[in-house]
Each structure stands twice: as structure tokens, then as C-alpha cells.
Structure 1
Amino acid sequence: MRASLLLLAAVVTLWGAHWPIMKVGLAHVGPLWFNALRFLTGGLSLFLVVALLGRLRVPPRRDWPLLLSVGLGQMMLFGVLVMYALRHVPAGRSAVLAYTTTLWVTPLSVLILGETVSRRKVVGTVLGLAGIAVLFNPLTLDWSDRAVVVGNLILLVAALVWALCILHIRAYRGLSSTLELAPWQMLLAAVPVTGAALWIEGPHPGDGTLTFFLVAAYAGPLATGFCFWAVNQLTARLPAATFSNAMLAVPMSGILFSAAALGDLPSGPVLLGMAIILAGMATVVAAERR
């Protein structure tokens, strides 16, 4: 459990910081090339790690469904949807909406996987969703701006895609470990995104500035290579309700990093929502320890 908590803390920190970094990166590179570069560099770093460990092999046929689900769903589709939405939605708000995955994961894990959810976990989940509702605050959304409304809807669709991938990871029993599959999943995501970037955005990724290279270095090996492996590892280890509630810490981290880096200071309702989410997470963790 301690190892899982340390891994979770690393993901929360790295992915929280990634939201304002993505927002900055979009000023230097198109959304398709941003995703293509982070999947290519993240995948190459994982191929190197797996090869050095002597565990590099082509995934057996039994693992192909999981390869396709995570590579094309959780990585490619989720990543592209989020990057397009970020062009019209602030980084902090985007992080909150993308992690409404909890709305789908907990009830679907009960209905589809037959997982049992204790009363404390139900209370914790309700608190977490209440905190998300406070953070989202639809009253502050400019409903007359079509681009903003579509951007928010795209983030909700991205959350549903990720939720379905989480359920697949939990239900499927493959032959390869998450580390052995991760580089191949990223390669699978990188190929179509790179092709689309060449076709739609042209053959020149980025503006060649120092900021562009720093963003690419962070987004690839760390926020993509390491974090996607870590998240899939946690998905397989932790119950769905526990994992989805714990991941609510990422948008809170994203809000704090966005405030520090972009000057997007959290308001009173945002602080209230974060406190409610923390209460929900504490309730779920207490239930898990029991």
C-alpha cells in the first residue's frame, strides 16, 4: 500500500504541473504535434528502460485487446481531445472536467465488474463529486460562446473514454506487465497522431524556442512515459472507487500549479471545492484501510 501511495503522489504532482505546461506549450506547437512528440519521446524512453531491464518483447496476441484499448483510447483519443479543449478552456477548469472520470468509473465498476462499494466509499465518492460540482460551477460558464461550450463537452467525453479504459484494465487479465505493454501502447498512439499532425498541421513541429524544447522534455518522458505506466499500474492494484477518488487530487494539483505558473488564482468557491474533495478522499482512504 505504501508503494502505491508514493506512486500516486508522484503522478498527482507530475500531472498537476502538466496542465499549465500544456497550456504554455500550445503557444509554441499545435495540439496534434504536441501529442505526437510526447508519445514518441515518452515511448522511446520506456523502450529504453524495458530493454535495459531485459524485458523487451513483442506483446503476445492475448494482450492485443489491452494494447488497443489503452493505446488508442486512454492515450491517443484522451490526449487529443484534452489538447483541443485546452485551446478554449482554462487549464485549471480543464483539469477538473477531465477528471470527472469518477462520475463514470464508480457506478460502472459496480454494474459491469460487480465490485462492491462500502458505505464509506459511497460517502467519499459523493463528497468528491460534490467538490467537482463546486469547482466546475456551471454558472460561471459563458454559454453564449460556442467554442467554450464545445471545449467543456469535449473534456467530459474525454473523461468517459478514460473511464472505459480503466474498467477494461481492471477486468482484463493479460500475460504482460503494465511496464512491458506501456512502450508498445505509446507507439500505437504515436503513429496515427504523427500522421494526422503531418497532414493537418504540416511537417514542422514547434517553433524551435527553448520553451518548446523544455515543454517537450517534460511532457514526453515524465508526464507521458512515466505517468501513464504508473497510472495503469495503480489501476490494476487499487479498487476502482479508491483509484478514481484518489485521482481527484490531480485537478486540485493542476489548479494550484496553474495559479503559481499562470497567475490563475483560485477563488473562494474553488478553495471550498478542494476542501470537499479532500474530505471525500480521506473518507475513501479510511474505508480502504479498514
Structure 2
Amino acid sequence: MSSTALSRRNALLLLGVVVLAWGFTWVVSKLLLQHMTPIWAVAARSMTGTIALLALGLALRRVAWPVKADIPVILSVGLLHMGAFAALVSLGLQYVPAGRSVVLAYTTPLWVIPAAWLFLGEPIGRGRQWGLALGVAGLAVIFNPLAFDWSHQDALLGNGLILLAALCWAINIVYVRAHRWVTPPFELAFWQALLASIVLSGVAFAAEGKPVFTWSADLVWLLGYGGVFGIAVAYWAAVNVNRSLPAGVTAIGLLGVPVFGLLCSAVILHEPLNGSLLAGMGLIIAGIAAGVVERRA
């Protein structure tokens, strides 16, 4: 695709592609755990995505050698988002339903607001204050301390891992906001995914030993979808959407990811949709939207 911005209609269509691709990826990630150990699952998906990103970049003639100024953002995205976030989510998915996980992971913008205020000097206006309050209220509804089974160690561990993943993503977002770009983001995606694949493979080998799995049609399509659509296509589409639509429109549109992910989990994985989860998700999404609308204004 050319470097010119897309028409609004095409950009909105691509935003829909991102929402569908990333939303369904949570179901794919949960299903992958039936075939592979958690860290090897994300390492294999990352390797598939790396190959797909290279092929897509070559086809679009958008692969560039990174320069010295690109190294910090390659490290940030590759290690924190594509690496730590993905690994922690996969570990958490062993104990937490996919629908609940996607809602918890998308609390990331709530952690970005105070971090951006602390490290970047971004003001926290009334809209963001309301956003934080609504988001925290949403978490309180989901984790209702009076109803939560605090003796369930696996549940505590799984939810904690997902929230830690959200924190890693938030740290990465704050750094990316402060980064002065030299090479365009998509041109660096291959190198970020390659770094994540190398690190994840090393961690998986150290923590889980040699990969043990049996090739099957299900495993092939899960890895194919997770790598090609969940990483390569979604990343390419997101970069084009970010370039063509206002940041507020993009951020609010991406709130569709946890909604679609939750619905897919209910339909495909038959996960229950209880009232506290739906209410908490509604409060969290409202909180994120409140902060985004103020920033856009």
C-alpha cells in the first residue's frame, strides 16, 4: 500500500479487520493450549507471524534495515508487547477463561493514563479522572472481593498474570508515545517480531524444555491464523488505520476487540457470560472511552 493515507471508508473497514482479527485471536490462543505448552505456543505463533510479516513487508516493499535510533523501540515492542505480554497472557489463559482474559487485558489504557502523567507530564483532566474511576469500578465488579474465592490459587495466579500482561503493554505504550520515530512503524514490525520469537523460544526452552506436540490440521490452522491474521495482517492494518484516522476514533473503535473476543469465547468455547463480567466490561469500556474522548478534544 502506498504511503498516502486511506480514505475514511477504507480506514474504517481496516479498523473492523483489526477488531475481528485481534478479538478472535483470544479464542485461538486458548485453543492452542490444547496442543502446546503456554510459552512454546506463543513462541510458535510469533515465529509464524515473523515469517508472515517478512513476506508481507517484501510484497509491499516495506522492509528496512533498522538504524541505531530504532533499537530502543524494537526492544520495547519486541520484549514488552510481543514478548512479555503474549507470554503472560498465554500463562494466564491456563487458569482464566478467554473472555474474562480479554476484558482484563484491555484495562491497559487505564494504566497508561497515570503512567503518562507521571513520566510524560500528560495532564489528567476531568474526563480521564472519570475514566479511571469507571475503570477501577469495573475491575471491582469483576473481582468482587466479597464473592471472589480467595482460596482458589489458580484463579488468583491467572488473573494476576493477565493484569501483569496489561501493565507490560501499558509500559510499552508510554515508551512508544515518547519515542522519536526515524523508521516508520511497520518497517520495524518484522524486527520486533523476530526479537520476540528469539527471546520467547529461549525462555520456552529453558522453562518448558523441548517442544512436545503433534502436528494436526487444527494446530496448523491455529498457528496460521494466530501468526498471519493475529500478528501480520492485524499489525499492518493497525498501522494504516493509525495513519488515516484520528487517534480518538481509532482508540474507541478498538474497544470492539474485548467485546468481540468475549462474544467469540461464549459462542465457540461455551464460556458463561455472567452479569458481573458484562457489567465490569461495560464500566471498563466506558472508562477508556471517557479518557479517549477528552484526549481527542
For normalisation by structure 2, the TM-score amounts to 0.84
Cα pair distance change 1:148/1:274, threshold 3 Å: closer
CA contact (8 A) 1:16 1:253 kept: yes
CA contact (8 A) 1:259 1:266 kept: yes
Aligned residue for 1:36, secondary structure, equals: helix
Runs (5+) with no aligned partner, structure 2: 1-6
Give the equivalent residue in structure 2 for 1:131: 138
Deviation, structure 1 residue 38? 1.3
Give the equivalent residue in structure 2 for 1:86: 93
Structure 2 Cα separation of the partners of residues 77 and 184 of structure 1: 16
Deviation, structure 1 residue 97? 2.1
Give the equivalent residue in structure 1 for 2:22: 15
- Say yes or no: does 1:29 pair with 2:36: yes
Structure 2 Cα separation of the partners of residues 91 and 139 of structure 1: 23
Structure 2 Cα separation of the partners of residues 250 and 215 of structure 1: 19
CA contact (8 A) 2:45 2:223 kept: yes
Structure 1 Cα separation of the partners of residues 226 and 28 of structure 2: 8
Give the equivalent residue in structure 1 for 2:184: 177
- Say yes or no: does 1:159 pair with 2:163: no
Mean Cα deviation higher: 107-116 or 222-231: 222-231
Cα pair distance change 1:200/1:109, threshold 3 Å: closer
Deviation, structure 1 residue 233? 6.9
Counterpart selection for 1:51 from 47, 54, 58: 58
Give the equivalent residue in structure 2 for 1:116: 123
Structure 2 Cα separation of the partners of residues 105 and 111 of structure 1: 10
- Say yes or no: does 1:225 pair with 2:232: yes
Structure 1 Cα separation of the partners of residues 62 and 287 of structure 2: 39
Per-residue Cα deviation, 1:170-227 (whole angstroms, up to 9, x for no partner): 1001211111000000000101222333455454553212111111111101112233
CA contact (8 A) 1:17 1:254 kept: yes
Deviation, structure 1 residue 156? 1.6
Cα pair distance change 1:24/1:256, threshold 3 Å: same
Counterpart selection for 2:223 from 216, 222, 227: 216
Structure 1 Cα separation of the partners of residues 145 and 242 of structure 2: 30
CA contact (8 A) 1:96 1:132 kept: no
Mean Cα deviation higher: 125-134 or 189-198: 125-134
Mean Cα deviation higher: 205-214 or 174-183: 205-214
Give the equivalent residue in structure 1 for 2:108: 101
Per-residue Cα deviation, 1:41-85 (whole angstroms, up to 9, x for no partner): 111111112222223221001110111111111111111111111
Structure 2 Cα separation of the partners of residues 125 and 6 of structure 1: 30
Give the equivalent residue in structure 1 for 2:278: 271
Per-residue Cα deviation, 1:6-61 (whole angstroms, up to 9, x for no partner): 54433332222111221111001121221112111111111112222223221001
Deviation, structure 1 residue 270? 2.6
Cα pair distance change 1:145/1:267, threshold 3 Å: closer
Identity across matched positions, percent: 40
CA contact (8 A) 1:96 1:136 kept: no
Give the equivalent residue in structure 1 for 2:67: 60
CA contact (8 A) 2:110 2:131 kept: no
Cα pair distance change 1:145/1:127, threshold 3 Å: closer
Structure 2 Cα separation of the partners of residues 273 and 157 of structure 1: 18
Structure 2 Cα separation of the partners of residues 233 and 174 of structure 1: 16
For normalisation by structure 1, the TM-score amounts to 0.86
Structure 1 Cα separation of the partners of residues 184 and 217 of structure 2: 36
